[in-house]
Amino acid sequence: MSEPSHAGAILTIDLGAIAANYRLLREMVPGAECACVVKADAYGLGMDRVAPALAAAGCRTFFVAQTGEGIALRNRLPEATIHVLNGLAGADPRDFTDHNLVPVLNNLAEIEAWARFCRERGTAFATDIHADTAMSRLGLTGQDVALLAAEPGLAKGISVSHVMSHLACAEEQDNPLNGRQLAAFGGALAALPPALSGKASLANSSAIFLGSDYHFDMVRAGAALYGIAPVAGQPNPMAQVVSLQGKILQVREIDTPQTVGYGATHRAARKEKIATVAVGYADGYLRSLSNSGGGYIGGIRAPVVGRVSMDLTTLDVSSVPDDQARPGALVELIGPHNPIDQVAADAGTIAYEILTSLGSRYHRVYTGGGG
């Protein structure tokens, strides 16, 4: 993490806003536990800082993707329940039991391997079972579930904590696939033998907003914790978490027919004032924001002109007063005027990618939740 004077930009992460988002989501599921997903370094915002803030707000159960993430989180939160979504993934089962991690078993081979390990150790270690209901990624197929129902001995020795699945289109509330997946999940729960029954978990952040039919025993809050809009096409009820301010390095005037940046993709049609900002795609400010993104100075939008390069981005600050658009001044690239979902739309992607791409060269500032 760079010193403020050394960095090209300041990334501010509001832990208090993350905690507030958690409390809002938890209040929406009064009959279920609200777990938190902190995979990918808490969506790029720093698991070491985010997870303790969520624990302080009352969260007791966390999800990560990889075993290494689970071990790192265990070192930070010794009392938490930690589930690993990618399952065994070829790891030694002792990596899970030594660090008190709960693997999400995604196929029959993993179930048999875990069951064999439990029998050898004489202990029914906790695990989850993932039933695929439409994603066609990880998880047991319908045929796998039927085989387990017919041959429950394949999983002898297992103690199931949760049976879970994952919705493909939860942010689209009118998408009929949501209802079909809900029905398929209910069918999987009914088909599994009693020895493999556990609590049920289907809902991610967006599915929380689909209503209580989707909540079951536990929801898994992820993107909404970090300020991403949970429902497409509706106002975002979540508090904004991230602010990114880039430092202006230089301001110059150009006029037609001068061009800006690699490939000369922007040509001045008139006299323009161009500010060069010390943020580029090496910092996670995506190249797809070239000629489409924008920043704000004093509430005035300054569009990105030319291509975003590795270390630099150029903006047209012709509408910004000279005393504000000057070397050393900061441009809001993500923030109140330019929320993360808008930046993602400008980049032709989703806010998840923007967050998880944020680089390591920023000076990071954590506010709220201990700051």
Which stretches of the chain are assigned E, i.e. beta strand? 9-14, 33-37, 61-64, 81-84, 101-105, 126-130, 159-164, 199-201, 218-221, 242-254, 259-260, 266-267, 272-277, 294-297, 300-303, 313-316, 330-334, 363-367
Half-sphere exposure in the Cβ direction for 153 (13 Å, CA): 1
DSSP for 129-190, please give it: EEBPSS--SSSB-HHHHHHHHH-GGGGTT-EEEEEE---SSTTSTT-HHHHHHHHHHHHHHH
Quick one: CA dihedral 244, 249, 255, 259, positive or negative?
negative
3-class secondary structure, 65? coil
3-class secondary structure, 324? coil
- Would you name the residues annotated as active-site residues? 39, 262
CB within 8 A of 285, min separation 6: which ones?
A: 244, 246, 279, 293, 308, 313, 333
Residue 11: Cβ within 10 Å count: 27
> What are residue 260's phi and psi, to 5 degrees?
-130, 125
Identify the DSSP state of 304.
B
User: What is the four-CA torsion angle of 186, 190, 195, 201, rounded to 10 degrees?
Assistant: 10
The CA distance from 244 to 119, in Å, is 51
Burial (CB < 10 A; 0-12, 13-18, 19+), residue 114, is buried
Burial (CB < 10 A; 0-12, 13-18, 19+), residue 253, is exposed
Q: Which of 181, 129, 186 is nearest to 152 (CA)?
A: 129
